[in-house]
């Protein structure tokens, strides 16, 4: 597979590193509107060709697929352009800024019969994959209740830098700079973590969003700090189970932590994921009588990058697909409406 990396900031280095390590994948080009950034990126990763635009790269044409690492608002037009040019697409999350655009991308990809996948990075957590396997095998019985959380502390800690002075963080707090707050930034991750791990789709949603005061007049320089900082979401799953999903950037003491608990009528599973590592705990069989939890050791799994390369090689699309990501985006969109109208909404 000859791969073009579209956008060379942010996550692009991770894409370059992971794809370059896969046998049969060659990084053939980079694309960026900033020539200095592009030149540095290509030199760092040994990429021979550079282009100022996707259109210029498509005119060249010597590639099979793109890794779309552009800003969120650019995903729609660039992914569609690549698909229409006959190129497979591996897109960063979220797939689009709203469900309407996301489903347009699904339609183009599926009609073209091209590989389309989204980099929901926590699919790479082996403990989550194993938890889903346990749930789907029936070992915990019928899922009745789900808890999921994504907690970050960068608004109260400088471990990741000082958000008050750094544009890479400030834009995430400002609607006018393209942010949909914590809901848009990490909401898609925890929704996927919850629904994928539980093996269930979300049926109904009731959400509350909150933006907290962070500066005088909630403004720092050109940034109006009006994007949501925390959300809570009550959901019904398709099997009738209830779920509670929440996320915040104010979670003091939690640098970057995802947690999932699935409770069934025969047992339970819990996944904890942090920068320092991941854990899978289970309460199964006779252990439910004594509330005894055991930690399971889990073997590593293939990454999204590896699965995309496999999908292109075999011609068979793998998950997470554009359609899956579009369905998640629909839930995110409904959460915003639910908060504004203070009512529960059907997701399906």
> What are the pLDDT tens digits along the chain (348 aa)?
999 999 998 899 999 999 999 999 999 999 999 999 999 999 999 999 999 999 999 999 999 999 999 988 899 999 999 999 999 999 999 999 999 999 999 999 999 999 999 999 999 999 999 999 999 999 999 999 999 999 999 999 999 899 999 988 998 999 998 889 999 999 999 999 999 999 999 999 999 999 999 999 999 999 999 999 999 999 999 999 999 999 999 999 999 999 999 999 999 999 999 989 999 999 999 999 999 999 999 999 999 999 999 999 999 999 999 999 999 999 999 999 999 999 999 997
Q: Which of 99, 121, 143 is the last residue of a domain?
A: 121
Count of domains for the chain: 2
Specify whether the CB–CB gap between 227 and 175 falls below 8 A: yes
| Domain assignment of residue 251, yes or no | yes
Asked whether residue 130 falls in the same domain as residue 183, the answer is yes
Asked whether residue 198 falls in the same domain as residue 239, the answer is yes
Pick from 328, 345, 329, 348: nearest CA to 337: 345
Q: Hey, what's the torsion of the CAs at 253, 175, 77, 189, to 10 degrees?
A: 20
Buried b (16+ CB within 10 A) or exposed e, 50-67: bbeebeebbeeeebbbbb
Handedness of CA 302, 308, 313, 317 (dihedral sign): positive
| Domain assignment of residue 337, yes or no | yes
Asked whether residue 34 falls in the same domain as residue 171, the answer is no
Handedness of CA 251, 254, 257, 261 (dihedral sign): negative
Asked whether residue 97 falls in the same domain as residue 134, the answer is no
Return the CATH number at 179: 3.30.360.10
SS3 (DSSP) at 230: strand
Return the CATH number at 81: 3.40.50.720
Asked whether residue 218 falls in the same domain as residue 331, the answer is yes
Asked whether residue 87 falls in the same domain as residue 178, the answer is no
What span, in angstroms and rounded, lies between the C-alpha atoms of 123 and 271? 12
| Domain assignment of residue 308, yes or no | no
| Domain assignment of residue 211, yes or no | yes
Domain ranges, residue 242: 125-301+316-346
| Domain assignment of residue 311, yes or no | no
Between the alpha carbon of residue 142 and those of residues 130, 194, 243, 294, the distances in Å are 17, 16, 14, 20
pTM of the model: 0.94
Which residues are registered as beta bridge partners of 295? Answer: 281
Asked whether residue 81 falls in the same domain as residue 132, the answer is no
Asked whether residue 208 falls in the same domain as residue 338, the answer is yes
């Amino acid at each position: 597979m000859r791969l073009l990396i579209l956008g060379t900031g942010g996550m692009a280095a991770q894409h370059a590193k992971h794809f370059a390590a896969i046998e049969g994948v060659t990084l053939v080009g980079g694309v960026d509107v900033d020539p200095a950034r592009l030149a540095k990126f290509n030199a760092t990763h040994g990429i021979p060709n550079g282009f100022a635009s996707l259109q210029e790269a498509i005119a060249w044409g010597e590639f099979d697929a793109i890794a779309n690492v552009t800003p969120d608002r650019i995903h729609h037009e660039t992914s569609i352009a690549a698909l229409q040019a006959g190129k497979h697409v591996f897109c960063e999350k979220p797939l689009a800024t709203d469900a309407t655009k996301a489903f347009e991308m699904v339609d183009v990809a599926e009609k073209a019969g091209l590989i389309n996948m989204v980099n929901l990075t926590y699919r790479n957590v082996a403990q989550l994959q194993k938890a889903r396997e346990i749930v789907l095998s029936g070992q915990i019985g019928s899922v009745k209740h789900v808890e999921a959380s994504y907690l970050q502390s960068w608004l109260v800690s400088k471990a990741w830098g000082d958000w008050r002075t750094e544009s890479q963080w400030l834009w995430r707090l400002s609607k006018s700079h393209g942010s949909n707050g914590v809901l848009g930034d990490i909401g898609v991750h925890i929704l996927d973590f919850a629904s994928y791990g539980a093996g269930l789709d979300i049926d109904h949603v009731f959400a509350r969003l909150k933006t907290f005061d962070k500066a005088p007049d909630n403004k720092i320089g050109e940034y109006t700090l009006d994007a949501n900082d925390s959300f809570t979401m009550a959901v019904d799953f398709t099997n009738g189970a209830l779920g509670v999903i929440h996320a915040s950037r104010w979670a003091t003491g939690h640098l970057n932590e995802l947690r999932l608990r699935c409770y069934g009528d025969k047992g339970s599973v819990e996944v904890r994921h942090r920068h320092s590592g991941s854990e899978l705990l289970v309460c199964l069989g006779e252990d439910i009588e004594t509330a005894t939890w055991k930690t399971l050791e889990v073997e590593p799994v293939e990454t999204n990058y590896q699965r995309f390369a496999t999908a292109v090689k075999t011609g068979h699309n793998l998950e997470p697909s554009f359609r899956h990501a579009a369905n998640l985006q629909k839930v995110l969109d409904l959460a915003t409406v639910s908060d504004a109208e203070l009512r529960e909404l059907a997701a399906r």
